[in-house]
Amino acid sequence: MGFGTFLTLLSIQPIILAEPQTENRVQEALLKELPQVKGQYLYFEGEGKADQNLQNQTQKRSLSKEAAILEAKTKIAYYIDRLKTKKGKLIKEERAKNKKMEFKVSVFIKGVQPQETQWDEYDNCKATVRIHKKRLLNSLKAKGP
Listed residue (126, 129, 125) closest to 112, CA to CA? 129
State the residue range of the domain holding 54: 3-143
Q: How many CB atoms sit inside 10 A of residue 15's CB?
A: 20
Q: Which residues pair with 37 in a beta bridge?
A: 42
Query: Which of 6-15, 91-100, 129-138 has the lowest average pLDDT?
Result: 6-15
Four-CA torsion 92, 94, 96, 100, nearest 10 degrees: -120
Q: What are 40-62's pLDDT values in tens digits?
A: 999 999 999 988 898 899 999 99
Total count of domains within the chain: 1
Q: Where are the alpha helices (DSSP H) in the chain?
A: 3-9, 23-32, 57-82, 91-97, 99-110, 133-140
Q: Is the CB of residue 81 less than 8 Å from the CB of residue 90?
A: yes
